[in-house]
Chain A
Amino acid sequence: MTRWLQDNMPKIVLAPSFIIVMVFVYGFIAWTAWVSLTRSRLMPRYEIDSFIQYERLAASPRFETAMVNLAIFGTLFIVIAMVLGLLLAILLDQKIRTEGAIRTIYLYPMALSMIVTGTAWKWILNPELGIEATVQGWGFAGFEFGWLVDPDKAIYTVVIAAIWQSSGFVMALFLAGLRSVDEEIIKAAQVDGIPTWRVYSAIIIPSMAPIFLSAFIVLAHLAIKSFDLVIALTGGGPGYATDLPATYMYAMAFSRGDIGQAASSAMVMMLVVFAIVVPYLYSELRTKDD
């Protein structure tokens, strides 16, 4: 008995969380996939009716806007947040005196919820209250900064707010990465008289590849499930110019009683996540096999 317990203890301890994950993650993914193939409206129904919901999704201009917005937002957000984060990390890596205080300051936006960030930026970017009004108050009467209320540019305000929120966190990730590079190699390079920028571009950054991947995965899933930031900052507007797949799904499920549409858009979102995560997992697993 004791022997059996010893052998099976890990399985017993892990069983509850395994079951919970199976039911509440994979079970509900399966449920959503099923519902996305039905004509569910107000309440879920279970008679399969081919790919009607996906056809409706493809014909919906609003969902198209949402996907285009996701592409714009995702690309700009991930690229700029990583570049900015790396730059801040390198600058902070120069053994400056107040590093601890500065690091905390840059990391603080991450402590705010997206709702707070969104609301604050809504005021900052509002033409009547924020930057535009302030600069005009300084006497530059011709100054205009109305991106928030311009349907073509509003999505970029979401990018600005998201970068402000996350680049400090990316900086912290990169800083840890920079510190983990072997001092000896750097010292050796310095002895050889290699300029600092070459040390970074040829030695330190290439050896940080895993950190880049982690940062990318974290930012990518933040981008895809972005919801609260858009709701607080623009409410999806003007019109539906800043809709993202997540806000589309919410509107369908909870405001419009169109559960079939909501489920199919959720499946599309999941496929986008898979398209990013699966290659990552694959490369991770392969390196372990080697």
Chain B
Amino acid sequence: MKSYVLSTASAIAVCAAGPAFADGHAEAEVLHYWTSGGEAKSVAVLQEEFAANGGTWTDMPVAGGGGDAAGTALRARVLAGNAPTAAQIKGPAIQEWFQEGVLADISAVAETEDWANLLPASIAAHMQCEGTWCAAPVNVHRVDWIWANTEILAANGIEMPTTWDEFNAAAETLQAAGIIPLAHGGQAWQDATVFETVVLGLGGAEFYQAALVDLDPEALTSDTMVAVFDQMRTMRGYVDENFSGRDWNLATAMVMNGEAAFQIMGDWAKGEFIAAGKVPGVDFTCASTPGDGYLYNVDSFAMFEVDGEEKAAGQALLAELIMGPNFQEVFNMNKGSIPARTDVDLSGFDECAQISAADMASTNEGGTLMPSYAHGMALFGAQSGAITDVVTAHFNSDMSSAEAVQMLADAVANSL
């Protein structure tokens, strides 16, 4: 109900602001995979704003597989020569689609609205294809979060860890007290999520860039990477026996119920805490995982080459609205992420979101704002998949770190 009021209010606000494209009729068919409760509500905000500006929105939601099904639908549409006006694609996939020569240029809107100065440089780079703007960012999820049950920490005299050694020490204390130190779900992408935060924490942003973005073979086989796998092995001892295949939200529930102390997961976990009526800072604590840096996961919409002025007008309107301050604020408040544009007033957001935004600004200046490999922001699917295979094989067996490092280098070479 609250979000409905908010979205209506924002729709009215946008109307009052005097839309640029209200005179010509605008049309958009939007393919996306935001179909679950909170997400569907968030995308409805955009739909209402679009309609309020005189546009006709044709919704094409495709559920399933974390976007896999939507990707399949998109490929079929493009192959059939009937691309949607806009589709939810992110990270290097945008460049992959651009290379297929099917993306439209939205530079006109981007330059009028001055996106280059509104977005952090590395996020802006994802939205540009060889100098032109080809996608509009919706939000920024931070991946390198560690969530903790405040009460358990207080009862065991533990501070939020700022180094991985501190984390290990805290985990030993908790284990001795009979509490599961780390709530984790044994699914490949969750293993990968923990792995990348450890890479960032132990190796620093420069090493992260070399290993997981540039795929430098030296970095992949370095001693630092061995240390990363050692830490993964140590952490394998901190999860409960029954972790295989558990969904991430069930792991979050373990932290909420006091069965487990910590969880390493992106800020969508915050939504679970808040939906259960927990208060940040009181019932649960959020902090970035040990080490410096920031791993982002940015959802975005790419525009496809389509015929007809109405559709082109629709793309321009859509791009303008997606990056509009109103939509960025309302949408991200619903979704638990933070706005991609840096000039939005954050006073209405919770404590964790404010930390996230402040860190995004500071890491952007310091050059440690990094794309999340585990969430498809850093690499093409084949490469990130090859890395994830090794990470999850190591985590779920008794493979040594040296073996894992060798396997990692081989797998990456084989995927190129």
Contact = CB atoms under 8 A, between A and B. Distances in A.
Given A43-B79, A251-B385, A237 B187 contact: yes
A163 B75 CA distance: 37
B382 A149 contact: no
Contact of B244 (A42, A59, A238): A238
A258 B385 contact: yes
A235 B392 CA distance: 13
Given A146-B241, A240-B389, A43 B100 contact: yes
B100 A240 contact: no
Contacts of A59: 410, 414
Contacts of B78: 43
A239 interface: yes
Contacts of B397: 151, 239, 241
Contact of A257 (B380, B393, B395, B396): B380
Contacts of B165: none
A56 interface: yes
Chain A interface category by residue count: 20 to 34
B381 A239 contact: no
A41 interface: yes
Nearest to B97: A42
Interface string B173-192: 00000000000001110010
A61 B385 contact: no
A143 interface: no
Contacts of A149: 186, 241-245
B245 A238 contact: yes
Interface string B240-256: 01111100000000000
B96 interface: yes
Interface string A33-58: 00000000111100000000000100
A207 interface: no
Contacts of A239: 186, 188, 191, 392-393, 395-397
B111 interface: no
A265 to B, nearest CB: 13
B244 A237 contact: yes
Nearest to A250: B68
A65 to B, nearest CB: 8
Contacts of A252: 385
A256 interface: yes
B242 A254 contact: no
B71 interface: yes
Contacts of A127: 241-242
A226 interface: no
Contacts of B186: 149, 237-239
Contacts of A146: 241-242
Chain B interface category by residue count: 35 or more
A255 interface: yes
Q: Would you call the interface of chain A mostly helix, strand, loop, or mixed?
A: loop
Interface in B374-416: 380-382, 384-385, 389, 392-393, 395-397, 407, 410-411, 414-415
B93 interface: yes
A62 interface: yes
B80 to A, nearest CB: 12
Contact of B414 (A60, A122, A236): A60
Given A149-B244, A235-B245, A237-B186, A43 B75 contact: yes
B66 to A, nearest CB: 8
B242 A257 contact: no
A128 interface: yes
A261 interface: yes
A122 B68 CA distance: 24
Nearest to A44: B79
A257 B188 contact: no
Nearest to A236: B188
B65 interface: yes
Contacts of A41: 96, 380, 382
A117 to B, nearest CB: 16
A258 B396 contact: no
Interface string B46-74: 00000000000000000001001101100
28 contacts: A41-B380, A42-B93, A42-B96, A42-B97, A42-B100, A59-B410, A60-B411, A60-B414, A61-B393, A61-B411, A146-B241, A146-B242, A149-B241, A151-B397, A154-B244, A234-B244, A236-B188, A237-B186, A237-B392, A241-B396, A254-B71, A255-B381, A256-B384, A257-B71, A257-B93, A257-B380, A257-B381, A258-B382
Given A61-B411, A148-B245, A239-B188, 19 more contacts: A42-B96, A44-B79, A61-B389, A122-B245, A127-B242, A149-B242, A151-B397, A234-B245, A235-B187, A239-B392, A240-B389, A240-B392, A240-B393, A252-B385, A254-B65, A254-B68, A254-B69, A254-B71, A261-B382
Interface of B: 65, 68-69, 71-72, 75, 78-79, 93, 96-97, 100, 186-188, 191, 241-245, 380-382, 384-385, 389, 392-393, 395-397, 407, 410-411, 414-415
